[in-house]
Amino acid sequence: MIPIAKPLIGDEEQREVARVLSSGSLAQGPEVKAFEREFAAYCGTKHALATTNGTTALHLALLAAGVGPGDEVITTPFSFFSSASSIRMAGATPVFVDLEQDGYALDPAAVAVAITPRTKAVVPVHLYGELCDMDALREACDAAQVPVIEDACQSHGADAGNGRAGSLGAAGCFSFYPTKNMTTGEGGMVTTDDDAIADTVSQLRAHGEGERYEHQRLGFNYRMTDIAAAIGRVQLRKLDGYNAARRANAQRYSAELADCVQVPGARRGHVFHQYTIQSDARDALREHLAARDIGNGIYYPSLLYEARPLAEFAAPTPRAAALPPRVLSLPVHPGLSNDDVGAVIGAVRDFARTA
Ligand SMILES: Cc1ncc(COP(=O)(O)O)c(C=O)c1O
């Protein structure tokens, strides 16, 4: 079986976890502080604040940007659920706008049109690991003084030449779920240059505390464990190598599959969290791959406003609506051997020949 995703946890992570377990400091301790320092340096931001997962990172970043009931937040309908559920968790209204032509990123022109006096933030998602057009998005948002909060949960290390994911807006939100480009088991991070956002996130993730037991506001318990942070510090050191392997696998797929399926472009700093093709015969191709023990995935089978809790926010987004029946992600992770990549290519080509 060639899995669609595979967390690579080695001896070093295991040693670090054992060291932390015997240290006596297990939550929001020195490992978390070190991981935050190192992650901020990697992203090129002044601050990084660790949380329990990407969903809570988004929730806190939105709250820290002042998002609340009555506000609108513009985002994509084609993403993982929490890109939009976090907006509802903050009490605001998600405003779904369409994607750019021939891509998966939020369309900056559609964002510009959707901004109203109630718009409190815009949440672009760097889907599959490819950055949105952040220059154009920032231009649209700066004119209206609306902060951009990057959903960078799939784009650790993506860089189109003017800064890494997480450093391109008012705040960036990351997930370290096991399938991501780097993992801590579960975990998340908010990156920002803004001292006020950092202070608010820091308080909100720990019961609104400034100093211990001095509660400045109501808050949550969204703290990361030192066990997770210790894994994250090792994974961060490996991230560039992992991303290079993902890119090399993607390059080979594109070179050898472009004549038989629609392969992804590799524009703005792609780190290939997913390698996603499109096909009219997607479901038959999927069965063909499954029969050959080749893992694959549909990200995502429906639009966010088709989910019951978000149905009242449905909006016309024809480009996004064309994607759920067509997209198929192939294994691209750094755990693949050359033979694995060759087997995936062979299976897709076989299908194209006989279909
Ligand atoms: C685009 C996107 N946003 C948000 C999340 C939420 O992250 P987590 O699963 O860590 O809560 C994910 C992860 O699945 C994601 O892919």
pLDDT, tens digit, 9 for 90 and up, residues 143-191: 999 999 999 999 999 999 999 999 999 999 999 999 999 999 999 999 9
Statement to judge: residues 184 and 275 lie in one domain: no
Statement to judge: residues 28 and 162 lie in one domain: yes
Nearest atom of ligand 1 to the alpha carbon of 55: 11
Q: How far, in Å, is the centroid of ligand 1 from the Cα of 215?
A: 29
Q: Would you tell me how many other CB atoms lie within 10 Å of the CB of residue 280?
A: 12
Query: How, if at all, do strands 188-192 and 47-51 pair?
Result: antiparallel
pLDDT tens for residues 28-40?
A: 899 999 999 999 9
* Cβ–Cβ < 8 Å for 95, 315: yes
Cα angle at 19 between 47 and 32, to 5 degrees? 15
Statement to judge: residues 230 and 246 lie in one domain: no
Please choose from 153, 156, 174 the residue to mutate so as to test ligand 1's pocket, defined by most ligand atoms within 8 A of CB: 153
Q: Residue 264 domain-assigned? A: yes
The percent helix, strand, coil of the chain (3-state, each to 5) is 40, 15, 45
Statement to judge: residues 22 and 144 lie in one domain: yes
Nearest atom of ligand 1 to the alpha carbon of 86: 4
Domain that holds residue 225: 11-234
d(CA 270, CA 72): 29
pLDDT given at position 200: 98
Q: Can you tell me the mean pLDDT for 42-60?
A: 98
Q: Residue 95 domain-assigned? A: yes
pLDDT given at position 274: 98
Statement to judge: residues 192 and 302 lie in one domain: no
Statement to judge: residues 163 and 213 lie in one domain: yes
Instruction: Please give the backbone phi and psi of residue 14, each rounded to the nearest 5 degrees, phi first.
Output: -65, -40
Q: Residue 219 domain-assigned? A: yes
For residue 187, what is the DSSP state?
A: -
pLDDT tens for residues 195-216?
A: 999 999 999 999 999 888 999 9
Statement to judge: residues 58 and 183 lie in one domain: yes
Statement to judge: residues 196 and 309 lie in one domain: no
- Which residues approach ligand 1 with their CB closer than 6 A? 53-55, 79-80, 82-83, 125, 151, 153-154, 175, 177, 188
Please choose from 132, 177, 220 the residue to mutate so as to test ligand 1's pocket, defined by most ligand atoms within 8 A of CB: 177
pLDDT given at position 162: 93
Plot region of 213 (φ>0 → left; ψ -120 to 50 → alpha; else → beta): left
pLDDT given at position 266: 79
**Alpha helix positions (H), 155-257:** 195-204, 226-257
CATH number at residue 249: 3.90.1150.10
Q: Residue 327 domain-assigned? A: yes
Statement to judge: residues 41 and 170 lie in one domain: yes
Q: Residue 122 domain-assigned? A: yes
Nearest atom of ligand 1 to the alpha carbon of 179: 14
Q: How far, in Å, is the centroid of ligand 1 from the Cα of 175?
A: 6
- pTM summary value: 0.98
Statement to judge: residues 207 and 286 lie in one domain: no
Query: How, if at all, do strands 188-192 and 171-175 pair?
Result: antiparallel
- Count of domains for the chain: 2
Statement to judge: residues 304 and 329 lie in one domain: yes
